[in-house]
Structure 1
Amino acid sequence: MKKSIAKALFNSHSYAEYRKLITDLLKVDKSTGNEQSPELTNYSLLNETRMNRLEKTLQIPEENVVKLNALKYDYIWLVLSEGWCGDAAQLLPVFDKMTAASDGKIEMRIVLRDENEELMNMFLTNKGKAIPKLIVINKETSGALAHWGPRPKGASDLIAAYKKEHGVLDEQAKTDLQLWYLHDKGMTSQDEIIWMMLDLDKEVE
């Protein structure tokens, strides 16, 4: 696994570089990923707007800043993503604000799912390549300690319930999911990830 992580990190992007990559591709009507279609490009365009809004409005409460600053060890968050992914557009700005609030304890690096299939296959969700997937890495040893994603529990429960009732995940499901994220304001994701990090911090030697 360390070899796959090292390879991914070597080809990874900062959050700013990831945003620029998506923007540059949209200028030529493209999205990230192996598959290209007008639908995926449109999703990327919608996500660009969402991320711009979230970067301006998202807040990390002071109590969460204190918890992030209390981490004893240094970590890398290696995130598998793609520009067309609606969940990634909602969550990567949260991750970015959290790393900025961590006082240097956490660094985020982003890689594209389709360019890192070997790594993605190590972190499947119900045998699927669901993204975003946040992999927590010990900065000193480069070992993977835990992973989180592709959604916070409330969002996952919403999608599971919708699929159970309707049998499919259609555009209405996507709309309902985006509304959930809008009302949640990134708080559930922050709470889940911070508790994961605090637990890991106790275990790191």
Structure 2
Amino acid sequence: MESLSHPVTPAIFEKGFPYPEFVAFTEKLVSENRTTGANQSEAYLDYTRMCLQRMHRWDKTAKVSLAMQELIESIQQPQRWLVITEAWCGDGSQSIPFLAKLADLNPKIQLRIILRDENPAVMDAYETNGARSIPKLVAFSGDLRCELFTWGPKPHYLMERYKEYRHDSKGLSYQEFLEEVYLWYARNKNKDLEVELFPLIQSSLIQ
């Protein structure tokens, strides 16, 4: 694959959290009644507590299909998966546990998590429609020289639903809209996420 210019250095990748350490870090934040980033409002503290609960729940309940498991296990060359997020990110807490389960299926995949606001140069390289939306997954070759694929910040259905809501809320408060989003995640059980990731991962195997 063609080498690409990007700001992710080995040092940036290695300083990232492995997923279990990110969960432990979030637990510590919650115990200290704080979160990541500059916004330490009660709302963001509540988001962080909810995110921790969701990660714990998905750790127990998320399932990977047999087809996806076989695809992941077929990866022969090392890959590094970098996730950009924050502890208060609701979409991150819904998707990152599943990404971690995928990475755990093959020792050739290294997954690390970095914080958006502590890595502005990285985040600015992976904006979505001009916005610093998270979470964002960026997959690289093992030597970080080649970018393999990106995904995020949320499944396509929700991307479209957010656009619809911003255009016309139809009387829904933002909190009511968020409840709709949370319910969708719970019912979807990462199926859309897996469907979207499958061809991306498959394309990374083409030599």
Task: Please confirm whether the aligned pair reaches a TM-score higher than 0.5, indicating the same fold.
Answer: yes
Measure the CA separation in 2 of the matches of 1:107 and 1:44.
25
Give the TM-score normalised by the residue count of structure 1.
Answer: 0.92
Measure the CA separation in 2 of the matches of 1:169 and 1:68.
40
Measure the CA separation in 2 of the matches of 1:196 and 1:165.
32
The residue number in structure 1 matching 2:38 is: 34
Cα separation, partners in 2 of 1:114 and 1:141, compared to 1, 3 Å? closer
User: Is structure 2 residue 106 aligned with structure 1 residue 117?
Assistant: no
* C-alpha displacement of 1:169: 7.4
The residue number in structure 2 matching 1:8 is: 12
Per-residue CA deviations over 1:107-133 (Å, capped at 9, x if unaligned) read 110000011001000000111110000
Per-residue CA deviations over 1:4-44 (Å, capped at 9, x if unaligned) read 43342132110011111111011111011222111101000
One-letter amino acid of the counterpart of residue 129, structure 1: R
SS of 2:168's equivalent?
A: helix
User: Is structure 2 residue 143 aligned with structure 1 residue 140?
Assistant: yes
Measure the CA separation in 2 of the matches of 1:137 and 1:26.
32
User: Is structure 2 residue 25 aligned with structure 1 residue 45?
Assistant: no
User: Is structure 2 residue 167 aligned with structure 1 residue 164?
Assistant: yes
* C-alpha displacement of 1:188: 1.0
* Cα RMSD after superposing both structures: 1.7
Aligned 1:7-156 pairs, distance under 5 A:
7-101=11-105, 103-156=106-159
SS of 2:149's equivalent?
A: strand
Cα separation, partners in 2 of 1:3 and 1:150, compared to 1, 3 Å? closer
Q: Structure 1, unaligned stretches of length 5 or more? A: none
Measure the CA separation in 2 of the matches of 1:4 and 1:71.
22
The residue number in structure 2 matching 1:199 is: 203
* C-alpha displacement of 1:70: 1.6
* C-alpha displacement of 1:143: 3.0
Q: For this pair of structures, how many residues does the alignment match?
A: 202
* C-alpha displacement of 1:2: 4.7
Give the TM-score normalised by the residue count of structure 2.
Answer: 0.91
SS of 1:150's equivalent?
A: coil
* C-alpha displacement of 1:153: 0.8
**Contact 2:6-2:125 at 8 Å conserved across structures:** no
Per-residue CA deviations over 1:61-119 (Å, capped at 9, x if unaligned) read 11210111122322111000111010000001010111112x22321100000110010
Percentage of pairs with the same residue = 25
Q: Structure 2, unaligned stretches of length 5 or more? A: none
**Contact 2:83-2:112 at 8 Å conserved across structures:** yes
